[in-house]
Amino acid sequence: MHAWHRFMAVWCAALGVCVNVCAQQGMTLPDKKEVTLGLSRTNQSLLHGVLINYKNDLTLNVNYENAKGFASIQNGVGVWLVREELVKAGVGVNYMMGRQEAADRRYSGMGDVPGSAMSYVWGEWQPIQDAITLYGNFGDSWNSSNGKLAQWGMTLGFPVLQTVNGFADVSRSWGDQRYVQRFYGVSSSQTTLSGYRPFTAPSAGTLYRNTQVGLVFAYDAQTDVIVARGKSSATSFLMESPLLDRKSQALSAVVLSQRFD
């Protein structure tokens, strides 16, 4: 069994146990309204789509949650499978980013890839509140040639000072064969225009392994400033694509998070 399938089987089983426990406890959460805004160095750009060379770019998330469902830039629009203090899971519609040839020199001659809507499921679980968070998501594009994309990871939180907390995060991203071919493959016609050798994605696989550490500064009860630094490493599987010219790149973020009553 592939690592992705093993992880999802364990994650879903643990999530199911936690959902059952939380449902028995009957907890109800208040509505949530939050905006995060800042700069991050990423390959998933709101302005430029999927990138090969990471860029410092705007990061923005507007999030609203109530008892029935959620709406956010990060997780799309949908309804809850479960919403409790320590576990959340939802299903809905989100947007799969495309690719802009002009946004990255590595795309020269490769053409654009339009983004599309996707069916989307996501979840997060805190087996130890505020100390360990497990999370994951899976999207299936409504444009079948764009394929399927997933991410999973874990965040560890720890106190530093009275108003400062630290965190360490590790995550992985995965694409099916169609996604890898669409965004990292090189067809014969693209070879002529780009000069890259042909590349056909052999299978689905893990794309990137990311690690980050950071600090959360609490300005007041409703406002945080978050700074983070880390590294993103392409897998050996993805490095087979001629579009990639380096294995590792820096990650960073400076973000303001504002909650509203």
**Residue range 170-220, pLDDT digits in tens:** 999 999 999 999 999 999 999 999 999 999 999 999 999 999 999 999 999
- In Å, what is the CA distance from 135 to each residue of 36, 161, 183, 210? 19, 26, 24, 14
> So what's the pLDDT on residue 3?
45
By the 10 Å C-beta count (0-12 exposed, 13-18 middle, 19+ buried), 61 is classed as middle
> So what's the pLDDT on residue 7?
44
Q: How confident is the model at residue 261 (pLDDT cuts 50, 70, 90)?
A: confident
> So what's the pLDDT on residue 37?
98
pTM: 0.88
Can you name the CATH fold of 3-260? Porin (2.40.160)
Which pair of tokens denotes residue 222? Answer: 């409703």
Give φ, ψ of 192 to 5 degrees: -65, -40
Kindly state the average pLDDT of the residues 38-55.
96
Kindly state the average pLDDT of the residues 164-172.
98
Using CA atoms, how far apart are residues 209 and 9, in angstroms rounded to an integer? 20
> So what's the pLDDT on residue 27?
59
> What distance lies between CA 197 and its chain's CA centroid?
30
User: Which of the pair, 18 or 84, is modelled with greater confidence?
Assistant: 84
Give φ, ψ of 90 to 5 degrees: -140, 160
> So what's the pLDDT on residue 253?
98
**Average pLDDT of the chain to the nearest whole number:** 92
Q: Indicate if the pLDDT at residue 45 is higher than 60.
A: yes
User: Residue ranges per domain, the chain?
Assistant: 3-260
Kindly state the average pLDDT of the residues 232-237.
98
Are 215 and 164 within 8 A, CB to CB?
Answer: yes
Q: Indicate if the pLDDT at residue 15 is higher than 50.
A: no
User: Which of the pair, 9 or 38, is modelled with greater confidence?
Assistant: 38
Could you give the residue ranges of the DSSP H alpha helices within 59-187?
177-184
